[in-house]
Amino acid sequence: MNQHVEVNADGGTDVLSISGGEAIARMIQVFDGGVMFGMGGFQLLPFYDAARRFGLPHHLVNDERAGIFAADAYAKVSGRVGLADATLGPGATNLVTGLMEAFNAGTPLVVLVGDTHREHSWKNMTQECRQTDVLRPVCKELIRIESVGRIPELMRRAFAVATSGRPGPVVVDVPEDVSHAVHDFSATDFYGDAIYRGAPSLRARPDAASISRAAELIAAARAPVILAGGGVHLSDAAERLTDFARSFKLPVAHTLTGKGAIPCNDALNAGLFGRYDRFANELIEESDLLLVVGCKLGEIATKRYTVPGRGKPLIHLDCVAEEFDRTVPATLRLWGDVLLGLTDLAAALAPQRERLQVRWAGRPADIAERMANWRRKVGARLHSDEHPVDIARLLTEINAALPADGYLVADGGFAAHWGGLLFDTKRAGRAFVPDRGSASIGYGLPGAIGAAAAAPGHPVFALTGDGGFNMMIGELETARRMGLAFTVIVVNNAASGYVKALQHLMYGAGAYHASDLNETNYADVAAAMGCHGIRVERPEQLAPALHEALARRVGPTVIDVVVTRDPAKMLPGVDSRTVQIKKGDRVA
């Protein structure tokens, strides 16, 4: 069967006699699809053949989890739709964790999944399972293509749903017979609106009356504080929020995913709030009004629903109405796009700008002084000379080495929490890329692949634990094959550190179970896989290692950092606060 393009004249109208797989590839071209990651099977072979002939940038991964993690990071960094694919059965089920990440984080993805030939479904076909039932709860929409001729229409819907509202992943389930069948399409079938190439594709303003009321509340407040979440980045609104905060001298605290909503080196930046705050929780307690921007106010951001305190006046700006009042009651709800909402708020407050600037003139200096005091208090750990290396010192050196246009991808667990607490962005925007939708271990290396593919020429560091790196070591081969230059920093504590640290905290020294790993030299592992490896055992080796990695322009570098083995020093935190827990508490 010839499944290549055949253009036939029919009454002056071009007809494309092509396979369903090729039709899918053509629709991805329509939406200017970027890099795609996947591991195929027979069901999607016509799509693969078309991708080859069309020159679509598609890359084989060694594990479907890595492919969808890479697509997620690609979308987070580029703002475009991330693309991934998998075969049926185990290929499909391996996507679940990455889909959960994208669904909860608001990442726009279109994910192709092959499925069984419909004439033989439920006859114990190889690898067959009820994959649509498995995948549906972890995606924004699941589209099963039942008719070859509807492929252009349904692919248009996939990109539209992925990029509108709160963005998210859309799974396109493609039966084998739909993929392989040849259909006569009209050339005019292959079109799509360019707005759906990235997110946010559509924006809506909060209603004018609510904006006016919000401006009144802010203007009447004594000490308002902005709480910024990841929705700021989904709306591409970090520069707008920074301008808004500076215009009215309003301090900004942020979540892990909201880091970069204002540059961390800005005088108004109060750092993380919630579980891992520097002083932001204290600032929230002192405030008389909170402006929550693009933030779901989840468990970590609210320190398990204890921050802010009860009764605190709160204006909540979000594009998803279902997030209002979910965890913290709002005084006023602004339902709309973050960028447009902040634009309208600034305009509503503009007539009072000079008066408000005088009222809050001392706030930048106050926040900067608090930040300086915090740094002095924790300086012993930030600049620790002990070895094995203190994780706080590692983050200090990363801050010093990574240029302003660089990215830090953070794996789940320690990497995200230590990075969220101590990594300082130097510009407004998403320079910190954690996997907080699912907080899955194993995101670091494939996340670096996606980020590096999305931002060629920009330095990319990935922070991962040894446990997370163990899961994805095989993707060093993928990165090397793709010719990507980035740096993976392995926090090597020879343990499942989070679990061991919590066991130490809750049950005492020596009460460890199933939390230790064998000591491994990951620099040697990297070298064995044709990559560059550097072993760091003392803190004075950190800066030279990071600069050596930045100087390399070919292939991935792995820096294996031997960090503290003391479980009492593993949990994210650098100050002198004593952790107190009660039964049922979760402290990390």
Instruction: Respond yes or no on whether the N-terminal peptide bond of residue 388 is cis (omega within 30° of 0).
Output: yes
307 contacts: CB under 8 Å, gap ≥ 6: 273, 274, 281, 284, 301
244, two tokens:
């808004």
Q: What is the pLDDT of residue 8?
A: 39
Q: Where is average pLDDT lowest: 10-19, 218-227, 292-301, 313-322?
A: 10-19
Percent of the chain with pLDDT strictly greater than 70: 95
Pick the CATH number of 16-196 from 3.40.630.30, 3.90.550.10, 3.20.20.20, 3.40.50.970: 3.40.50.970
The answer for residues whose C-beta is within 8 angstroms of residue 237's C-beta and 6 or more apart is: 294, 337, 338, 339, 342
Domain pair 16-196 / 208-368, same fold: yes
Question: Residue 433: its pLDDT value, please?
Answer: 98
Asked if residue 582 has pLDDT above 70, the reply is no
pTM given for the model:
0.95
Q: In what order do the strands lie in the sheet with 109-115?
A: 58-60, 36-39, 82-86, 109-115, 169-175, 141-144
The whole-angstrom separation of Cα 211 and Cα 114 is 47
515 pLDDT more than 90: yes
Going from N- to C-terminal start, the domains of the chain cover 16-196, 208-368, 384-562
Q: Are 448 and 482 in contact (CB under 8 A)?
A: no
DSSP SS3 for 116: coil
Whole-number Å distance between alpha carbons of 91 and 222:
55
Instruction: Look at residues 251, 350, 347, 353 and name the one whose alpha carbon lies nearest to residue 293.
Output: 251
Backbone angles phi, psi at 54, to 5 degrees: -85, -10
* Strand extents, DSSP E, 98-168: 109-115, 141-144
Using 50, 70 and 90 to split pLDDT, how confident is the model at 12? very low
- The mean pLDDT value for 307-330 works out to 96
Provide the pLDDT confidence category of residue 574 given band limits of 50, 70 and 90.
Answer: confident
Taking residue 190's Cβ as centre, other Cβ atoms within 10 Å add up to: 18
| Res 576 pLDDT > 50 | no
d(CA 348, CA 320): 23
Give the pLDDT band of residue 464 (cuts 50, 70, 90): very high
Give 82's DSSP letter: E
CB 579 within 8 A of CB 587: yes
And the tokens for 340?
């447009």
User: What is the helix (H) or strand (E) element at residue 228, kind and residue range?
Assistant: strand 224-228
Strand partners, 224: 289
72 CB-side CA count, 13 A: 39
Residue 4, pLDDT > 50, answer no
Q: What is the pLDDT of residue 126?
A: 84
Q: For 517-540, write each residue's pLDDT tens digit.
A: 999 999 999 999 999 999 999 999
Q: Which of 569, 521, 576 is nearest to 392 (CA)?
A: 569
Alpha helices in 436-584, H assignment, sequence order: 444-454, 466-472, 475-482, 497-507, 522-528, 542-551
User: What is the rounded end-to-end Cα distance, in angstroms, of the chain?
Assistant: 58
- Among 3.50.50.60, 3.40.50.1220, 3.40.50.720, 3.30.1330.10, what is the CATH number of 208-368? 3.40.50.1220
Average pLDDT of the chain is 94
Please report which confidence band the pLDDT of residue 498 belongs to, taking 50, 70 and 90 as the band edges.
Answer: confident
Residues 382-439 pLDDT 10s: 999 999 999 999 999 999 999 999 999 999 988 999 999 999 999 999 999 999 999 9
Fold of 384-562: Rossmann fold (3.40.50)
* Average pLDDT of the residues in 488-502: 93
413 compared with 215, residue with greater pLDDT: 215
pLDDT in the model for residue 249: 98
Interior angle at CA 27, CA 22 and CA 29, nearest 5: 95
- Rounded distance between C-alpha atoms, residue 260 and residue 230, angstroms: 9
Do the Cβ atoms of 13 and 176 come closer than 8 Å?
no
Across the range 135-152, mean pLDDT stands at 98
Predicted pLDDT at 54:
97
Q: Over 50: is that where the pLDDT of 1 sits?
A: no
Task: Give the separation between CA 199 and CA 566, rounded to whole angstroms.
Answer: 43
511 burial (CB, 10 Å; 0-12 / 13-18 / 19+) is exposed
268: its two tokens:
């108004």
**pLDDT category of residue 359 using cuts at 50, 70 and 90:** very high
Q: Tell me what the mean pLDDT of segment 77-99 comes to.
A: 98
User: 487-492 and 460-465 as β-strands: parallel, antiparallel, unpaired?
Assistant: parallel
DSSP secondary structure string, 353-409?
A: HHHHHHHTTTHHHHHHHHHHHHHHHTHHHHT---TTBPHHHHHHHHHHHS-TT-EEE
Mean local confidence (pLDDT), 170-194: 98
Q: Which residues pair with 289 in a beta bridge?
A: 224
Q: How far apart are CA 176 and CA 107, in angstroms?
A: 28
Provide the pLDDT for residue 585: 54
pLDDT average, residue stretch 549-571:
94
Q: Tell me the average pLDDT across 169-173.
A: 98
- Residue 459: cis peptide before it, omega within 30 degrees of 0: no
Over range 96-125, report the average pLDDT.
Answer: 95
C-alpha to C-alpha distances, 37 to 12, 86, 229, 477, 517, nearest whole angstrom: 38, 9, 28, 14, 30
Element (H, E) at 216: helix 208-220
